[in-house]
Amino acid sequence: MKINHLPVDDRTNGWSAILPPRSANPALAEDVNADFVVVGAGYAGLAAARRLAENRPDQKIILVDGGEAGENASGRNSGFAIDLPHNVGGDHDELDGSRRFMDLARMAIDYNEALVQKHDIQCDWGRRGKYHTAVTPRGAFECLQPFAKELEALGEPFRWVEGDDLQNEIGSPWFSAAVYTPGCVLMNPAALCRGLADTMPDNVTLFENTPVTSVDYVNGISLDTPGGSIRAPKMILTVNGLAGQFGFYNNRLLTMAAHASLSRQLTSDERAALGGVDDWGITPANAFVSITMRLTRDHRILIRQNIHYAPNRDCTDADRARIRQDHQRMFLKRFPMLPNVTMEHTWTGYLCFSRNGSPGFGQVAPNVWSAVCQNAVGVTKGTASGLLAADQATNVENPLNSHMESLGVPDLLPPQPFLGIGVRARLLWENWANRHEH
C-alpha cells in the first residue's frame, strides 16, 4: 500500500527556534530487521518505543519518523500536560469517565516526569497548575461554576480566583474569573520531545527524516523508506491523523490546524510592568473560540488561538502572517501595559479529532496496534495510549488498558462535502455562540 500523504515540516515551530540547535539521528540508509517497529515519534510513539524496550530488553525496536523529534504536533503544542478533563460533566457516568481520564493522564505525567528527572531533560518542566479562565461573568457562570461544582464532586483541589486577585496573579486585567487547579505541568514541548528521543534505551534505534512511503502487511510488516526497508513481525502505529494512509480509521479522523505565537522575551522593565507570578498557563472556557496563553520561564508570552478544518494540511505562510496579526491584536488587548512587545514566532500544528472524542487505540490487525487520535490532549493521552499499546503488544497486563478501551472507538464521519460543511458550520456557530468570550 502506497503512502500518499507524508508529514511535512514547514520549519515554523517557535518552541524549537528558541532552543540550541540539535543534530537529528541519521536517516535509514539500508535494509533492517527488528522485533518491533513503531512509526511516528510524537508523544505516542516515544512512549510506545520506550515501553516496548522496557518490556522486552533483549529485543530490537525501531522507531521511525518522517521528520525530526520535536518538530511535529507534539513539539508544537502549548506545552500543557493536562491532568483533568476540560469539561467534567455532573452525572455519575461522566464523573466515572473523568476519574478514568485522570488516572490515565496522571500515569502519563508521572512517567514523563520520572524521565525528565532521571535524564535531566532541560525542558522547563514544572507542576505549575493552570487557570481555566472566563472573560465575562456570563462565561464564569456558564462554564466555570459548573466546572468548580464537578471538581468538588470529584474531590479535586481548586481555587476560585477573580477580579483584582486574578490580575495580581497573572498581570492581565482581561479575565473576570478563573478556576485554578494545581496538577497541570507546563514545559517547552519541543525540548521535552527532543529529550525523550535522545534518551531512548539502548535497544531502540531511532531513524529521523525517514518517511515511510509504502507498507505491506503480508508475512509480518514491511515498510519502505527512501533509504531502505524495515521488516518486523509487529508494528505500533503512532502517526496520529495520518493513520488512514496505513489503512486504519479511514473516514473516522478529522484533521484540524491550530496556530500559536510566541512573543519576543520581555525586558526586565516590561516584566515588572506586567506584574503577577512567573511561569503561568491559562486555558479558556471555550478552547475553539478563545485563547490559551502562557508566560514562559524566559518571559515570553504564548498565544494559541485559531483552530480550523485543514484536511489537506496545507496552511501557508500567508495564512500564518494573517494569524500573527490577529495574535498581535489579541495580545495588545490583553496586555495593554506591553505596547511594544511583538510576536516573534508563529506556527501551525495539525491536530487529530474524532467525532465522538474517542481515541484510535488498541489492536487493529493481527500484528498491528495503534495509538492515534488524541483529540487535542496529546501530551498526556498520547503518552498513555502509546505506553498501553506497547503493553498490549507485549502481553503485559496493565489495569489502565480497560480505562483506555472504555473511551470507545472513533465514529464514522459523514461523507464529503457534508463533512467539510458541517465542521466549518460548527466552528462558526461556536464562535458566534461564545462571542462574549473572544
Nearest-angstrom CA–CA distance, 428 and 32: 49
**Beta strands per DSSP E along 49-184:** 61-64, 80-81, 130-134, 159-162, 177-181
Nearest-angstrom CA–CA distance, 87 and 321: 32
**Closer residue to ligand FAD (CB): 172 or 225:** 225
Q: Which three cell numbers stand for residue 182?
A: 494545581
Do residues 95 and 88 touch, judged by C-beta distance below 8 A? yes
Q: How many CB atoms lie within 10 A of CB 56?
A: 17
Nearest-angstrom CA–CA distance, 318 and 329: 17
Q: Which three cell numbers stand for residue 147?
A: 466546572
Please state the closest distance from residue 373 (CB atom) to ligand FAD, in A: 8
Please state the closest distance from residue 195 (CB atom) to ligand FAD, in A: 15
- Which residues on adjacent β-strands are paired with residue 236? 38, 369
Applying CB under 6 A, does 14 fall inside the site for ligand FAD?
Answer: no
Applying CB under 6 A, does 390 fall inside the site for ligand FAD?
Answer: no
Nearest-angstrom CA–CA distance, 255 and 288: 14
**Closer residue to ligand FAD (CB): 270 or 305:** 305
Total site size for ligand FAD, rule CB under 6 A: 42
Applying CB under 6 A, does 79 fall inside the site for ligand FAD?
Answer: yes
Name which position in 134, 351, 387, 404 contacts ligand FAD (CB under 6 A). 351
Do residues 281 and 124 touch, judged by C-beta distance below 8 A? no
**Closer residue to ligand FAD (CB): 161 or 287:** 287
Applying CB under 6 A, does 139 fall inside the site for ligand FAD?
Answer: no
Contact segment (CB under 6 A) with ligand FAD among 18-26, 43-51, 267-275, 394-402 equals 43-51
**Closer residue to ligand FAD (CB): 84 or 135:** 84
Name which position in 13, 77, 290, 354 contacts ligand FAD (CB under 6 A). 77
Do residues 305 and 322 touch, judged by C-beta distance below 8 A? no
Name which position in 14, 66, 70, 129 contacts ligand FAD (CB under 6 A). 66
Nearest-angstrom CA–CA distance, 180 and 188: 21
Contact segment (CB under 6 A) with ligand FAD among 23-31, 72-80, 112-120, 200-208 equals 72-80
**Closer residue to ligand FAD (CB): 50 or 304:** 304
Applying CB under 6 A, does 73 fall inside the site for ligand FAD?
Answer: yes
CA dihedral 375, 378, 384, 389 (to 10 degrees): 70
Residues that bind ligand FAD (CB under 6 A): 3, 6-7, 39-45, 64-67, 72-74, 76-80, 82, 211-212, 238-240, 242, 258, 260, 304, 349, 351, 372, 374, 376-380, 382
